[in-house]
Structure 1
Amino acid sequence: MTSTSTSSRSAFGGIIRSGAAVALLAAAAVGCTSGSKSPGSDINGAQSGTPSASASPSPSASATQPAGAPVVTLPADLTVDVAFPPSGDAAKDAVAQGMTYALRAYNAAFAAGDGQAPAFQYAWDGMARPYMADIIQQLASRGQTITGSTRYYAPTITVKDATHAAFTYCEDQSKGFPKDKATGKVTPSTPSIKDYTEWNTGLELSAQGVWRVTQAAGEKGSQRCQNA
């Protein structure tokens, strides 16, 4: 996929490019927000309200945990809702499981400010990994984490061959907010169409049999995703 230039803030928890396309942004995990948030505060993951700054982490659901993969641990005040229902096609469902794990792994690493987190390193590869790791570091350098909820839904999966797949899905960041690590203060925002992003990602099957996200491009302000 090709990249675009110039940046403002992004969906999927990171920096979004100006214009419709966002390239090499990957779930991923990455959170689209709007309204009163400052330019570096659009994040993925979150729940309405003002959760406690001392909320303890909890492990992710075992149903999203591929065999042999590092455990993903999300903060107690961060909900990642991945609605990718089974398709009945074993190949597509394997790709969906890999994407689900990658999105949760990214959100956990983003919240922790740790681009070296084992689950994140396991699930993200290619050009996507260093890009997303930089976004994670940017948030950490501002002394912020994420809170609330983010939702991923409306998937379309195309298995191109035995080791390559394309995955399109929507992201809803209308309930995702940045939180100051020191004070626990949550910055609210006004929901808008900018909270909805349509993602087009590429995954590759590793030699170890792991579906990893290697490319991603998103369109922020998606009418289709807002209506889905």
Structure 2
Amino acid sequence: MNRPARLTIATFTASAALLLTACGSGGSDDSSSDKINGADTGAKSSPSASASVASDVKRPEIALPSTFTMTFEGWTSSDPKLQAVLDDGKEGLRATHAAIIDADPNAGPVTFYNEGAALESARSWVKGYVKTDDSLVGKVRVFDSQVRVNSQGLGVLFYCVDEGKAFTKNRKTNKLAGTPRGTSPYLQYRTTLEKTSQGVWKTRTVQTERGACGQ
């Protein structure tokens, strides 16, 4: 999926002209490194996990149109703390995509789930679509989530996104643009999240690498 080349910020490394998405790594509280991918420490999220501990904070509702769907596969953990990181990381990703479709860089959910450099990056990414008058259609598959909480108490969440069936759509011309031929439709996301006093895991940094994920 094509995307503007304007979004290149220190904490948000992504291939210019391609849609935002990512792939995996995971771990547990006793690991000291933020790096997960390829490491043998830490456990991957389990598909037979229990639900995360509910927070008293009212989270914003994020609505995506029927013309654009996001499927999260195996997005569960048996550890309630890790499930909470997964849940807020998921909604943060959905929030940014919804903001692009709504052409609203200052959308409330984007601010709710992001802070600092990650918030600046998300807003810049959305503004790029607003400037070119593009929206999103099709579907993305989010998979291979791996998550842990490191020794500093930060959530470390890696995951993959398959954007091979997602497209940008110009609002005026209805022209569609997908992932360029010869370019991998898979993008790996490497994020860190920090838990607020209200219990929300906000994304604070994001890095991406094109082609780092398999099928």
Q: Is the TM value for this pair above 0.5?
A: yes
Contact 2:7 2:128 in 1 (8 A): no
| Matched residue SS, 2:93 | helix
1:85: how far off? 2.9
Within 5 Å, give how 1:142-161 maps onto structure 2.
142-161=132-151
Please name the residue that 2:43 is paired with.
none
Instruction: Establish whether residue 182 from structure 1 lines up as the match of residue 172 from structure 2.
Output: yes
| Matched residue SS, 1:115 | coil
Within 5 Å, give how 1:208-223 maps onto structure 2.
208-222=198-212
Question: Partner letter of residue 214 of structure 2?
Answer: Q
Within 5 Å, give how 1:49-64 maps onto structure 2.
none
| Matched residue SS, 2:188 | strand
1:84: how far off? 3.9
1:161: how far off? 4.8
Please name the residue that 2:214 is paired with.
226
Contact 1:163 1:206 in 2 (8 A): no
Please name the residue that 1:127 is paired with.
117
Distance in 2 (CA, whole Å) between partners of 1:171 and 1:165 is 19
1:187: how far off? 2.6
Instruction: Establish whether residue 117 from structure 1 lines up as the match of residue 93 from structure 2.
Output: no
Question: Structure 1 residues 23 and 219, CA, compared in 2 at 3 Å: closer, same or farther?
Answer: farther
Question: Structure 1 residues 191 and 79, CA, compared in 2 at 3 Å: closer, same or farther?
Answer: farther
Partner of residue 73 from structure 1, selected from 63, 66, 84? 63
Question: Partner letter of residue 11 of structure 2?
Answer: L
Instruction: Establish whether residue 168 from structure 1 lines up as the match of residue 155 from structure 2.
Output: no
Contact 1:157 1:168 in 2 (8 A): yes
Question: Structure 1 residues 14 and 212, CA, compared in 2 at 3 Å: closer, same or farther?
Answer: farther
Question: Structure 1 residues 178 and 110, CA, compared in 2 at 3 Å: closer, same or farther?
Answer: same
Question: Partner letter of residue 25 of structure 1?
Answer: F
Instruction: Establish whether residue 136 from structure 1 lines up as the match of residue 126 from structure 2.
Output: yes
| Matched residue SS, 2:184 | helix
Within 5 Å, give how 1:76-95 maps onto structure 2.
76-95=66-85
Question: Partner letter of residue 102 of structure 2?
Answer: A
Contact 1:23 1:216 in 2 (8 A): no
Contact 1:25 1:128 in 2 (8 A): yes
| Matched residue SS, 1:139 | helix
How many residue pairs get aligned? The number is 183
Runs of 5+ in structure 2 lacking a partner?
22-50
Distance in 1 (CA, whole Å) between partners of 2:184 and 2:65 is 25
Higher alpha-carbon deviation: 67-76 or 159-168: 159-168
Contact 1:14 1:25 in 2 (8 A): no
| Matched residue SS, 1:226 | coil
Instruction: Establish whether residue 43 from structure 1 lines up as the match of residue 33 from structure 2.
Output: no
TM-score of the two chains, using structure 1 as the length reference: 0.70
Runs of 5+ in structure 1 lacking a partner?
1-8, 33-38, 46-62
1:132: how far off? 1.5
